[in-house]
Amino acid sequence: MFEKLNEKVRKLTYIDVKLIKLATFFAAIIVVKLFPQLLKINYWVLIVLTIACSVKPAYKFLSKK
């Protein structure tokens, strides 16, 4: 299953990836508008979650393989 997804992702251009990021950003804004209590989350929790989600992609991007 992931092999097929990887093949499809390789077909995306730089612009496609940026558009996906923008769509995700705007979707997050909609979620926050619907659930304003999400803004009360401690920012340290958000920092930890951001770092935790970034470790594997950053490692893969920066590795020499």
8 Å CB contact between 39 and 32: yes
Span 24-64, pLDDT tens digits: 999 999 999 999 999 999 999 999 999 999 999 999 889 87
Q: Which residues 6+ apart lie within 8 Å of 31 measured at CB?
A: 38
Rounded to two decimals, what is the model's pTM? 0.71
Report the alpha-carbon distance of residue 4 to residue 10 in Å, rounded. 10
Question: What pLDDT shows up at residue 5?
Answer: 87
